[in-house]
Chains A and B, each alone.
Chain A
Amino acid sequence: NAGVTQTPKFQVLKTGQSMTLQCAQDMNHNSMYWYRQDPGMGLRLIYYSASEGTTDKGEVPNGYNVSRLNKREFSLRLESAAPSQTSVYFCASSADRGWHEQFFGPGTRLTVL
């Protein structure tokens, strides 16, 4: 099983450019999440999707949009990238929302110049 996959692994953008980070899971999980990881701050939740067809804001949603395309796929879009969005982005999934174990993808390292 591939588990949780993310593309791309690395990306460099200029301020104002847009891009979409892709995430897919093959574990038939209901819930999916997007986090950003910044030094010394742990992981902060950007958006999550408790089930197919629903999305909700997390702790730091400003500047991002998401789409739960189907049960497998959950994408994160930056409409107009800013240097403050330079970070490592992780997608995760779990059987259901809550304290069930979350499975993480390998991450996307994004630099905004």
Chain B
Amino acid sequence: GNSVTQMEGPVTLSEEAFLTINCTYTATGYPSLFWYVQYPGEGLQLLLKATKADDKGSNKGFEATYRKETTSFHLEKGSVQVSDSAVYFCALSDRDAGNMLTFGGGTRLMVKP
């Protein structure tokens, strides 16, 4: 079956540091890939997505590239802010699995001033 594996958190960074959150996936078909973000006390919201190999999704300074050869979709940001503190979820949607979203376990990011 499909699965998504993320690095365990929490990840603690100082403001303006570089961020990488690793995500790898296993899928039976050719999935679309997503990053969702959950701010404290809120539901998840879509941060970015990529639907085919070598696509780069980007939003709010975050970016991730769909790497089919390494089955990865790592999230990066060049300079994090305190307001980026949240839980980040990598997810995939696979047509061969009915197009349902499969989520990773989430990675908590804490940014200190």
Chain A positions within 8 Å of B, measured between CB atoms, are: 4, 40-45, 48, 58, 90, 92, 97-99, 101-107
Q: Which residue of B lies closest to A96 (CB)?
A: B99
> What are the residues of chain B within 8 A of A99 when measuring CB–CB?
32, 49, 51, 93, 95, 99
Residue B4 lies at the interface, judged by CB distance under 8 Å to chain A:
yes
Residues in A whose Cβ lies below 8 Å from that of B44 = 43, 90, 92, 102, 104
Q: Is there an interface contact between A90 and B95, defined as CB atoms closer than 8 Å?
A: no
* Given A42-B4, A98-B95, CB of A105 within 8 Å of CB of B43: yes
Contacts of B4 in A (CB 8 A): 42
Chain B positions near chain A (C-beta within 8 angstroms): 4, 8, 32, 41-46, 49, 51, 89, 91, 93, 95, 98-101, 103-106
Given A98-B93, A101-B46, decide whether A40 and B99 contact each other with a Cβ distance below 8 A. Answer: no
Give 3 nearest A-B pairs by CB, closest first: A104-B43, A98-B99, A42-B103
B43 close to A106 (CB less than 8 A): yes
Partner of B42, one of A45, A58, A92, A106: A106
- Do B93 and A42 have beta carbons less than 8 Å apart? no
Q: How far is the CB of B13 from chain A (nearest CB, A)?
A: 21
B75 to chain A, nearest CB (A): 15
Give the residues in chain A near B46, CB-CB below 8 Å.
101-102
Q: Which residues of A contact B32 (CB under 8 A)?
A: 99
Q: For residue A101, which residues in chain B have a CB less than 8 angstroms away from its CB?
A: 46, 49
**A1 CB → nearest B CB, Å:** 14
A104 to B45, CA, bound (A): 7
Cβ contacts under 8 Å, A97 to chain B: 98-100
How far is A48 from B97 in the complex, measured between Cα atoms in Å?
14
Asked if A107 and B105 make an inter-chain contact with CB atoms under 8 angstroms apart, the answer reads: no
Q: Is the CB of A4 within 8 A of B104?
A: no
A42-B106, A101-B49, A103-B45 given. 15 additional CB < 8 A pairs?
A40-B8, A42-B4, A42-B103, A42-B105, A48-B100, A90-B44, A97-B99, A97-B100, A98-B93, A98-B95, A98-B99, A99-B99, A104-B45, A106-B41, A107-B43
